[in-house]
Amino acid sequence: MPQVPSTRWCPTPEQLMILEEMYRSGVRTPNASQIQQITARLSYYGRIEGKNVFYWFQNHKDANSVCKMEAGDAEEASSTSDATLRHESMAMVDATWAVPPCCRPLRTLDLFPTKSTGLKDECSTTSKSSCSTTTNYMAHSSLHLSLPK
């Protein structure tokens, strides 16, 4: 039971930004060397491995349409939810998508903590305040499915 920190890669905003920009630039499937460079560069902002980059581009079909729900069906609070469509199936059912507010609060707190002293764990559950930011990206819609409205 490894409490090992072997966590899943947590893309930081900076990393994301760069990746997205690259994607926008036309990068689709970087080669090994490309990946290496990208990884090296991104690793500056946080832990990242080559495979992360690789998979990211693999999964990053299109970050388009941060579709929003249609105003006609839900009267939820609608906290600017953007349904991130991932698969075609989802794309179609999008109509029903009305994802409320589940964004991912990036807990990028300040610098690395020096928690030797009685500092509470930095990963405290709280502090999930603003999940705004542009954390939501990625919408894997594929094909030609009519996405969102």
CB of 72 to DNA, least distance (A): 13
Which of 34, 65, 86, 95 lies at the binding interface for DNA (CB under 7 A)? 86
For DNA, how many residues bind (rule: CB under 7 A)? Answer: 49
Binding of DNA by 4 (CB under 7 A): yes
- On whether the CB atoms of residues 35 and 131 are closer than 8 A, the answer is no
Q: Which two tokens stand for residue 2?
A: 């490894």
Tell me which amino acid residue 129 is. Answer: S
Nearer to DNA, 22 or 60 (CB): 60
56: phi then psi, degrees, rounded to nearest 5: -60, -50
Q: Cα separation of 137 and 63, whole Å?
A: 6
Q: 106 to 145, contacts with its own copies by CB under 8 A?
A: 106-113, 115-116, 118-128, 133, 136, 138-139, 141-143, 145
Binding of DNA by 105 (CB under 7 A): yes
Alpha carbon of residue 115 to chain centroid: 28
CB of 111 to DNA, least distance (A): 19
Which of 30, 60, 63, 82 lies at the binding interface for its own copies (CB under 8 A)? 30
CB of 78 to its own copies, least distance (A): 7
Nearer to DNA, 44 or 143 (CB): 143
Binding of its own copies by 147 (CB under 8 A): yes
Q: Cα separation of 82 and 110, whole Å?
A: 27
Binding of its own copies by 92 (CB under 8 A): yes
CB of 85 to its own copies, least distance (A): 9
Burial zone of 34 (CB within 10 Å; 0-12 exposed, 13-18 middle, 19+ buried) = middle
Q: Running DSSP on this structure, what letter comes out for residue 17?
A: H
Say whether 135 sits in a helix, a strand or coil.
coil
